């Protein structure tokens, strides 16, 4: 597990990766509830009791979350936390020949994601597999105490706390366009990386998610046409947005994978990119801010962060 250079919470949500691969199919056909199993007695999972930090190993990097095994009137229970996204109690826990198996459905933004995880003890830690119909990964774990000693801090925060988000919404003829950004600090470790970005490199916030953009109508930016319904005819267009260094200037990259962490940009899923106008602010913004403005069919998307401001004009496409 990577050492956290800051004292703030550092949790990367691995189940967002499931939604990247599943897409709208999850909402079209909700998965059944996991088959019920006789709950394991607490004594059967005694080696797993306590708080653990799990590291899920993916091709895009390692992702962390927190799980706590405890006793519920003689029966095993697990409390699974995913930063600002999920805080669920898992009761479908059974003993296996090698360890324990957990099954549950995670409600992620109204979409049910079936999850199955097998864990076994290995030395002082855990090892195992996470599986769904769309995603498989190896899992490693260490006690919360050992993780904190290594500088990996996982703290519970309210799920879905909008105080940590900057939201903007405009509407044209009943068609909505929305922008959401995590409120990332300036100065801060992510902000400080902006000046060192190499030509052609995108900024993926290590301590947050990329900006998220929805549109009910097709939009024309300078060098990119952004389509509504890119994930299906009944869904608005939804994209992640990434700041990209381009020579002495900047570009805004639109990516089809909207629900990802800032370390998970996959260029093969880019939908397009467009130039950004840049200016230095006299009064810095302490956190990232996202603003949408409309004047008839013409619009402006603006992002402010510290002393930096980027903007991109767009039109409602004909």
Mean per-residue pLDDT for 149-167?
62
pLDDT in tens, 66-115: 899 999 999 999 988 765 556 788 999 999 999 999 998 876 555 567 88
Residues 170 and 309 in one domain: yes
- Do 144 and 189 share a structural domain? no
Is the per-residue pLDDT at 246 higher than 80? yes
pLDDT band at 127 (very low <50, low <70, confident <90, very high): very high
At which of 114, 149, 184 does a domain end?
149
Q: Is 112 inside any structural domain?
A: yes
Residue 47 has pLDDT above 70, yes or no: yes
Give domain status of residue 1, yes or no.
no
Query: What does the alpha-carbon distance between residue 239 and residue 259 come to, in Å, rounded to a whole number?
Result: 8
Is-contact 213 254, C-beta < 8 A?
yes
What CATH number did the domain enclosing 114 receive?
2.40.128
d(CA 43, CA 71): 9
Among 122, 149, 176, residue at a domain's last position: 149
Mean of pLDDT over the chain: 81
Residue in the structure block whose two tokens are 């409120």: 183
Helix or strand holding residue 314 (H, E): strand 298-316
Asked which of 120-124, 180-184, 299-303 is least confident by mean pLDDT, the reply is: 180-184
Q: Which of 149, 176, 200 delimits the end of a domain?
A: 149
Q: How far apart are CA 43 and CA 45, in angstroms?
A: 6
The model's pTM:
0.56
Of the listed ranges 38-47, 132-141, 246-255, 278-287, the one predicted with least confidence = 132-141
240 falls within a domain: yes
> Same domain, yes or no, for 295 and 215?
yes
The per-residue pLDDT for 221 is 97
User: What is the pLDDT, as a whole number, of residue 205?
Assistant: 78
Average pLDDT score over residue span 245-260: 91
Res 27: pLDDT: 42
DSSP of 45-66, one letter per residue? GGGG-EEEEEEEEETTEEEEEE
Q: Compute the distance between CA of residue 240 and CA of residue 242 in angstroms, rounded to an integer.
A: 7
Same domain, 310 and 166: yes
Q: Tell me the pLDDT tens digit for each residue of 224-235.
A: 999 998 887 777
- More confident site: 168 or 5: 168
Domain that holds residue 198: 162-316
């Amino acid at each position: 597990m990577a050492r956290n250079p800051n004292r703030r919470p550092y949790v990367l949500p691995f189940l967002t990766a499931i939604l990247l691969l599943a897409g709208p199919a999850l909402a079209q056909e909700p998965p059944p509830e996991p088959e019920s199993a006789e709950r394991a007695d607490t004594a059967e999972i005694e080696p797993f009791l306590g708080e653990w930090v799990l590291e899920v190993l993916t091709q895009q990097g390692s992702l962390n979350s927190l799980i706590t095994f405890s006793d519920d009137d003689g029966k095993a229970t697990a409390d699974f936390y995913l930063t600002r996204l999920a805080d669920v109690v898992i009761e479908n826990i059974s003993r296996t020949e090698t360890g324990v198996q957990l099954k549950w459905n995670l409600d992620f933004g109204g979409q049910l994601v079936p999850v199955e995880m097998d864990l076994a003890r290995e030395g002082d830690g855990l090892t195992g597999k996470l599986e769904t119909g769309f995603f498989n990964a190896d899992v490693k774990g260490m006690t919360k105490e050992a993780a904190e000693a290594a500088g990996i801090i996982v703290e519970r925060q309210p799920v879905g706390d909008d105080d940590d988000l900057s939201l903007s919404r405009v509407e044209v003829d009943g068609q909505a366009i929305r922008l959401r950004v995590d409120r990332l600090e300036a100065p801060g470790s992510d902000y400080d990386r902006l000046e060192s970005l190499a030509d052609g490199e995108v900024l993926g916030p290590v301590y947050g998610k990329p900006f998220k953009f929805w549109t009910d109508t097709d939009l024309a930016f300078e060098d990119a046409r952004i389509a509504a319904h890119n994930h299906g005819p009944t869904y608005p267009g939804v994209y992640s947005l990434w700041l990209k260094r381009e020579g002495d200037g900047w570009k805004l990259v639109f990516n089809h994978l909207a629900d990802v962490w800032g370390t998970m940009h996959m260029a093969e899923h880019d939908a397009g990119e467009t130039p950004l106008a840049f200016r230095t602010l006299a009064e810095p913004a302490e956190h990232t801010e996202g603003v949408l403005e409309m004047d008839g069919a013409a619009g402006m998307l603006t992002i402010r962060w510290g002393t930096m401001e980027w903007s991109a004009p767009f039109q409602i496409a004909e």
